[in-house]
Copies of this chain bind each other. A is one copy, B any other.
Amino acid sequence: LPATYDDDTPLRIAVDAMGGDHAPAEIVRGVLAFLTEDQSGAHVLLVGDPQRIEAEITAAAGGLHPFDPACRVRLKIVAASQVIDMDEHPTDAMRDKRDASLVVATALTARGDADACISAGNTGACMVAAAQLLGKVGDIRRPAIATLMPTEAGAYAIVVDAGANVDCKPSQLVQFALLGALYMEKSLGVPNPRVGLLSNGAESAKGNELVREVHPLLAARRPHLNFIGNVEGNHVFEGDVDVVVCDGFVGNVLLKGAEGTGKLAMTILARDARAAENEETREVLLAALLRLRQRLDYAEVGGAPLLGLNGLSFIAHGRSDAKAIANGIRQAVKAARSGYVAAIKEALQREGQAG
């Protein structure tokens, strides 16, 4: 992969057309929405069953949101004859289905025929494919999932690891901090991102055994790393931290708990709207619900990058709709243009020499 891009070089994003609860229809619609709106000239490689993909393109052309036919030149269909189901065992699927759409999309990226790939399919299989085909950087054992969470400041904080690495050693959490800080800086354009260690209290003595071991390791990396100390679960949403470091078990609980509370808030508001006395009140509440959904729905950011790989792979929510897919491709374009992969290789090499 080239480390940097000339601004005139169109980027190429490989999209798994067959992965996710609403594939291929919503995936294809998302790709067309992206291509119609995109100003960067990026290309999409849509990977899957060519007949079904073509049928969805035809259906979309006659739909409510027709796409600009001029953008069709930036879309290429790549055939893949198999599909990995959502509940298949990741390593078994990876062994038995080498021509599955998500494997082919990842392989295109590994070969340099695409600059990044994205799939709303089987998360575990995406991770295995990415680790095997793209390769890991430095002494990363398993890629980390970096999930964006909305904040009161109207921005996002990134949680690393959000579920891939369940039992972690202190050195892994240090890697998550470096990987997350670089992603935030390079791909999301946040200068000198604030890195916080997720704990049960802000004081440095707080935390479980792992967190208490990691705290001094992160503190020792100042000022190179902008480590702001321990943060608590509520701080993640308050806009005071950019990168939240935790093991994948804890990150998953944080993420799912936030998802559950957000859903609860939306359910309460939706019930309110249904019980409204008159049409005007109902409309006001439904509009408020829509705005709340736009901020809280994690699918709005479209995808979570797998960090620690020698290439870019994004996993999208299984429930992704067209909008989520379009947003995810946009995120992939930004990351590919940012030179993130070259930067992490350099940073982890430096880390290896320092350690």
Contacts and interface: CB of A to CB of B under 8 A. Distances in A.
Nearest to A269: B288
Interface string A254-289: 111111111111111100100000001100110010
Interface string A231-260: 011111110000000111110111111111
A301 B207 CA distance: 27
A225 B291 CA distance: 43
B249 A208 contact: yes
27 contacts: A150-B264, A151-B264, A152-B263, A166-B200, A167-B208, A200-B249, A200-B252, A201-B252, A232-B253, A233-B253, A233-B255, A233-B256, A234-B259, A237-B263, A238-B263, A246-B253, A249-B250, A253-B254, A257-B261, A262-B265, A265-B265, A265-B292, A265-B296, A268-B296, A269-B269, A269-B292, A280-B280
Contacts of A303: none
Contacts of A246: 253
Interface of A is mostly: helix
Tell me the number of copies of this protein.
Answer: 2
B256 A272 contact: no
A212 to B, nearest CB: 9
Contacts of A262: 261, 265
Interface string A195-215: 000111100000111010000
Contacts of A252: 200-201, 232-233
Nearest to A253: B233
B253 A237 contact: no
A265 B248 CA distance: 25
